[in-house]
Amino acid sequence: MITAGDRAFVVPADLPGPSGGLTYNRRVLQTWRSQGLAVTEEPVSGAWPSPDEPARQELAHTLHRYRSVLVDGIIASAAPEEIAQAQAAGVEVSVLMHLPLPAETGLDAAQQRRVTARERRALEHAAQVVCTSEWARRDVAERYGALPLAVAAPGCDAAPLACGSAPPHILFLGSVSERKNPLLLLRALEPLQSLDWSLTIGGPRGADRRYAEAVASAAHQFADRISLPGPLAGKSLEQVWDRTDLLVLPSLAETYGMVVTEALARGIPAVVGAGTGAQEALTGARDPLRTDPTALPGAAVDPSDETAWTAVLEEWLGNEALRRHWRTNAVADRDRLRPWSETAKNLSTALRW
């Protein structure tokens, strides 16, 4: 039997944030503690998923101190040898898959092949692979075939209803990166400058400096309509949430998009990338009796179709009845959102903890 001192959750110590993955890790650990489940948090330093040798050695040393270990996927997917060695030594190593590494944008063909092969080896050695959405589970299965897969989708904290703004305020909340796709959003909004709206692009700069600079340059063309405050947290984030009327998340790939349910918790509808995990987040809390597509608290739009995004945003901005309808649906869904207690329980059950 695995006891309290035998369990650990290995997380990245130096990953820049804020991010959905970091929030997930933090809230699960907090909830486990509140539920009386003792799990040691083990932050591992290094530039994951591109670690140097000292980072690998630190990970190997950490894994061998426990009997059962859950490892964040950004670490595990880059460390197949360390996972294999730990498993061979009798350590039960499971992987928490936030986002398959090959799903990240900006990789050339050779990098894609290397990352895919390395992640495949890591997951084949894992005792369990826990995905943070059904979308991720399907994606991992399609990429790597038969694996011991489980799902523990994110929870959401209750939040006060947002007041909104006049004119309407739109919020993009995420890293300023190619995968999150804010440049498409700005191009989609360019034809809509005759309408009244404002936009906040809040989040840390991604790894590609040139992409972030292109976003800043494009935003400056809108004069004072768009603000780029950088990462938002605490009181400053809550203030932005309170004046937001619509969340936009045009990601090219998204495991779940916790920011979507965070918006719904405040009665804020969202427009998200169709075919991504964010669509799962948008629809997951809907009452099963509301089967009509118009009953969604927003819309899912092809994240590569700039014209479609323009059309949806133009309709929302110009149609007060639609804005009220989406808001009503979001308010109706906010009490049906999954609590973190359910996420933590699903995860511990998958790990047999």
The pLDDT score that the predictor gives to residue 329 is 95
**Are residues 146 and 272 located together in one domain of the fold?**
no
Q: Quick: pLDDT tens for 223-235.
A: 899 999 999 999 9
Mean pLDDT of the 85-105 span: 93
* 162 inside domain: no
> Residue 272 sits in a domain of what CATH number?
3.40.50.2000
Q: How far is CA 344 from CA 33, 66, 128, 306, in A?
A: 10, 20, 16, 38
**Are residues 18 and 41 located together in one domain of the fold?**
yes
Q: Quick: pLDDT tens for 180-213.
A: 999 999 999 999 999 999 999 999 998 899 999 9
**Are residues 199 and 343 located together in one domain of the fold?**
no
Q: What percent of the chain has a predicted confidence (pLDDT) above 90? A: 88
Mean pLDDT of the 302-320 span: 98
**Are residues 175 and 134 located together in one domain of the fold?**
no
Confidence at 60, pLDDT banded by 50, 70, 90? very high
Is residue 5 scored above 80 in pLDDT?
A: no
Mean pLDDT of the 55-80 span: 97
Q: Quick: pLDDT tens for 211-265.
A: 999 999 999 999 899 999 999 999 999 999 999 999 999 999 999 999 999 999 9
**Are residues 282 and 190 located together in one domain of the fold?**
yes
**Are residues 129 and 243 located together in one domain of the fold?**
no
Half-sphere exposure of 234 (CA within 13 A, CB side): 1
159 close to 343: Cβ distance less than 8 angstroms: no
Q: Give every CB contact of residue 85 below 8 A, 6+ residues apart in sequence.
A: 60, 63
**Are residues 139 and 230 located together in one domain of the fold?**
no
Confidence at 91, pLDDT banded by 50, 70, 90? very high
Confidence at 16, pLDDT banded by 50, 70, 90? confident
Q: Give every CB contact of residue 70 below 8 A, 6+ residues apart in sequence.
A: 8, 9, 10, 39, 94, 95, 96, 130, 347, 351
Sheet holding 149-151, edge to edge: 40-44, 7-12, 68-72, 92-97, 128-131, 149-151
The pLDDT score that the predictor gives to residue 139 is 94
Q: Quick: pLDDT tens for 74-85.
A: 999 999 999 999
* 293 inside domain: yes
Mean pLDDT of the 309-316 span: 99
pTM above 0.85? yes
The pLDDT score that the predictor gives to residue 291 is 67
Is residue 134 scored above 70 in pLDDT?
A: yes
Q: Quick: pLDDT tens for 271-302.
A: 999 999 999 999 987 776 666 767 899 999 99
Cα–Cα distance, 73 to 96 (Å, whole number)? 5
**Are residues 113 and 26 located together in one domain of the fold?**
yes
Closest Cα partner for 294 from 276, 319, 265, 275? 319
Mean pLDDT of the 116-134 span: 96
**Are residues 128 and 265 located together in one domain of the fold?**
no
Q: Give every CB contact of residue 110 below 8 A, 6+ residues apart in sequence.
A: none
Is 118 in a helix, a strand, or coil?
A: helix
Number of compact structural domains in the chain: 2
The pLDDT score that the predictor gives to residue 121 is 97
Cα–Cα distance, 302 to 308 (Å, whole number)? 7
129 close to 123: Cβ distance less than 8 angstroms: yes
The pLDDT score that the predictor gives to residue 1 is 54
Two structure tokens written together for 87: 């498993």
The pLDDT score that the predictor gives to residue 314 is 99
Q: Which of 48-52, 167-171, 198-202 has the lowest mean pLDDT?
A: 48-52
Is residue 4 scored above 80 in pLDDT?
A: no
Neighbours of 336 (CB within 10 A): 12
* 312 inside domain: yes
* 160 inside domain: no
* 302 inside domain: yes
**Are residues 25 and 79 located together in one domain of the fold?**
yes
**Are residues 114 and 185 located together in one domain of the fold?**
no
Closest Cα partner for 13 from 65, 79, 74, 64? 74
Dihedral in degrees, nearest 10, Cα atoms 59, 62, 64, 69: -90
Host domain of residue 286: 169-336
Closest Cα partner for 15 from 58, 56, 44? 44
Mean pLDDT of the 118-138 span: 96
The pLDDT score that the predictor gives to residue 15 is 79
Closest Cα partner for 351 from 68, 55, 19? 68
* 161 inside domain: no
* 164 inside domain: no
* 163 inside domain: no
161 close to 266: Cβ distance less than 8 angstroms: yes
**Are residues 151 and 9 located together in one domain of the fold?**
yes
